[in-house]
Amino acid sequence: MATTRIMPLHIGKGRTESQAVSDIIDYVSNPQKTDNGRLVTGFACDSRVADAEFLLSKREYISTTGRVRGADDVLAYHVRQSFVPGEITPEEANRLGVEFAKRFTKGSHAFVVCTHIDKSHIHNHIIWNAVN
């Protein structure tokens, strides 16, 4: 049985917008945790440069709408999806993470699914762009 937790990603901690997105993407796509990147899947973005693509689309959104970014502005959403040890293969977990993200975002937001295999339980980190 999987457990899922969704958290908004804000700038916070004295970081810039770019640092905040880059830090989380770097952490979740860590090759040591994702079988050298084999368990990283991007949707509507290139997972290797997803941080830059997320920021570009955010800037385009602000430019198009004229919306002013606030201090508590959400940059992306971070989902942790954990599985019971032995319940699932890493490949199946990644596939389920992609399926979950597509359904949840209705396929209208870019996202990255990174399956970590460095703990006793397999778990996904799903980062999706706050804007589409």
- Answer yes or no: is pLDDT of 66 > 70: yes
Which of 124 and 62 is assigned the larger pLDDT?
124
The answer to whether 77 touches 92, Cβ cutoff 8 Å, is no
Q: pLDDT at position 75, please?
A: 85
Which of 17 and 72 is assigned the larger pLDDT?
17
Identify the band that residue 104 occupies on the pLDDT scale cut at 50, 70 and 90: very high
Report how many domains make up the chain.
1
- Domain residues for the domain of 109 are 3-129
Active site residue 77: no
Which of 91 and 8 is assigned the larger pLDDT?
91
Closest to 126 (Cα-Cα) out of 66, 57, 43, 53? 43
Beta bridge partners of 99: none
3-state helix, strand, coil in the chain (%, to 5): 35, 25, 40
- Residue 3's contacts (CB-CB under 8 Å, 6 or more residues apart) are 81, 82
Q: Which residue in the list 27, 61, 74, 130 is annotated as catalytic?
A: 27
Average pLDDT over residues 35-54: 96
| Calpha distance 32→29 (Å, rounded) | 9
- Residue 122's contacts (CB-CB under 8 Å, 6 or more residues apart) are 82, 83, 85, 87, 88, 89, 90, 93, 115, 116
Instruction: Write out the DSSP string of 59-72.
Output: HHHHHHH-PPPPTT
The answer to whether 47 touches 41, Cβ cutoff 8 Å, is yes
Which of 41 and 17 is assigned the larger pLDDT?
41
Which of 16 and 65 is assigned the larger pLDDT?
65
Mean pLDDT of the chain: 90
| Calpha distance 114→98 (Å, rounded) | 9
Provide the CATH number for the domain around residue 117: 3.30.930.30
> What is the percent of the chain with per-residue pLDDT over 90, rounded to a whole number?
67
